Amino acid sequence: MTDEQMPEFAPFWHNVAKRRLGFPRCEACGRFHWYPLTRCPHCFAADIEWCAVEPRGTLYSWTVASTDALWILMPVRAVFVGGSGADGLHFIPTTPDERGSQDDGDPCVSSVQ
């Protein structure tokens, strides 16, 4: 079974189909987490909401071997290119200035289902 077929990933792929990113966030502690879970891995609360997020982030790991083009803490930005689902979502390198600030107000752009 692929990620796109697993029910816990449905909100993620629903957002990708609409050309936006959405991740689970705990309403109790306000922290985002990944892998979709029914409880927050930080505070164990069960109040999880899916929030649309800005497309900028930082690369922490990758699965392609033998490449000098990627590095840990590399700034990246999500872009939607053709296709839908996983085929349309790509992460491209950016400069640190293009990342934006996650500290300005509520990190949840809008609630999504």
Report DSSP state, residue 4: G
Per-residue burial over 67-105, b if 16 or more Cβ lie within 10 Å, else e, is eeeeeeebbbbbebeeeeeeeebebeebeeeeeeeeeee
Q: Judge contact between 79 and 55, C-beta under 8 A.
A: yes
Return the pLDDT at 7.
87
Based on the structure, what is the number of domains in the chain?
1
Residue ranges making up the domain that contains 94: 3-112
Residue bearing the bigger pLDDT, 66 or 47: 47
* pTM for this model (two decimals): 0.55
Please write the tens of the pLDDT for every residue from 58-113. Answer: 888 877 667 677 788 889 998 988 876 677 888 888 887 765 444 444 556 554 44
The amino acid at 64: V
Please write the tens of the pLDDT for every residue from 26-41. Answer: 999 999 999 899 999 9
